[in-house]
A = this chain, B = another copy of it.
Amino acid sequence: MNNLCTVRIGSITRAGRVEGDDIVVLDAADVGAVLRTGKQEETGNAIPRVTADLAPLITAPDKVICVGQNYLDHIREMGNEPPAAPTYFAKFSNSLIGARDDMILPPVDVSTHVDWEAELAIVIGSPVRHASSAEALAAVAGYTVLNDGSVRDYQRRTKQFLAGKMFEGLTPVGPVLVPATELGDGSGLTIRSSVDGVVKQDSNTDQLCFTVVDIVKDLSAITTLMPGDIIATGTPGGVGAARTPPEWLGDGSIVRCEIEGIGAVENRCVLPG
């Protein structure tokens, strides 16, 4: 199976199938539509991969669920013990941006504490509820990269993270969906982030406390996961907030999050004009 992506063409978006250096444009609005219908009808057009304007992989997912405190190295740097159950918080679809889009920072009078979090993200391929482990894995369409852009002062002003996690346009996701037929259960993949070329996070998805299967199975006891739902599996150690002194993304920062076998999202941070 080929990798899939979502591209902007003028004022619309289209799903695309990656074939070598080209993206074959499909007659579907985004990868979410491909997953819901199972169809990959071609439009007859192709565009070069290198210049494609990548939209968020799923433009309007029904759910974006993030797992917190899920890398053993990150748990330790935040001073915590491995948890007994996965920690979940949410984002909304307007948090998402494309793999090469600018991250629009909050105005400085709102916050200057913007941080990065490289994450392996699960994309659901078929509806799943009360799943066994085998059913959980079978419901995974594949994987992508997500930078869980986090505004730390808003995240920490109350005990609930959502305020700092739902900022508009701070969560790059992409560049492609790599099918689970290629990456299996998502384990054993190098995951890295860098800011302005300096490596900040460098770990492996083997460090996941709750695995992809654990997470999908657990969530499916709570709700029906649907095609196009995105589940970010947590971030390894090395985020800005945990550094001494803390480091924040600023105007012009280039932040890159990369996972072995998938690719990278690389985004420039800009202050609103």
Contact = CB atoms under 8 A, between A and B. Distances in A.
B94 A62 contact: yes
Contacts of A166: 65, 88, 90, 222-223
A166 B166 CA distance: 16
Where chain A touches its partner, the secondary structure class is loop
A87 B62 CA distance: 23
Contacts of A160: 68, 87-89, 160-161
Nearest to A95: B223
Say which size band chain A's interface belongs to: 35 or more
A18 B9 CA distance: 42
A162 B68 CA distance: 12
Per assembly, the copies of the chain total 2
B88 A162 contact: yes
Given A83-B158, A168-B222, A222-B166, A92 B68 contact: no
Contacts of A62: 60, 92-94
A49 interface: no
Q: Name the residue in A68, A85, A160, A223 with the highest tally of chain B Cβ atoms < 10 Å from its Cβ.
A: A160
A233 to B, nearest CB: 15
Interface in A185-201: none
Contacts of A159: 87, 159
A110 interface: yes
A134 B200 CA distance: 43
A166 B162 CA distance: 14
Interface of A: 60, 62-63, 65, 68, 83-90, 92-95, 106-107, 110, 129-130, 151, 154, 157-163, 166-168, 221-224, 226
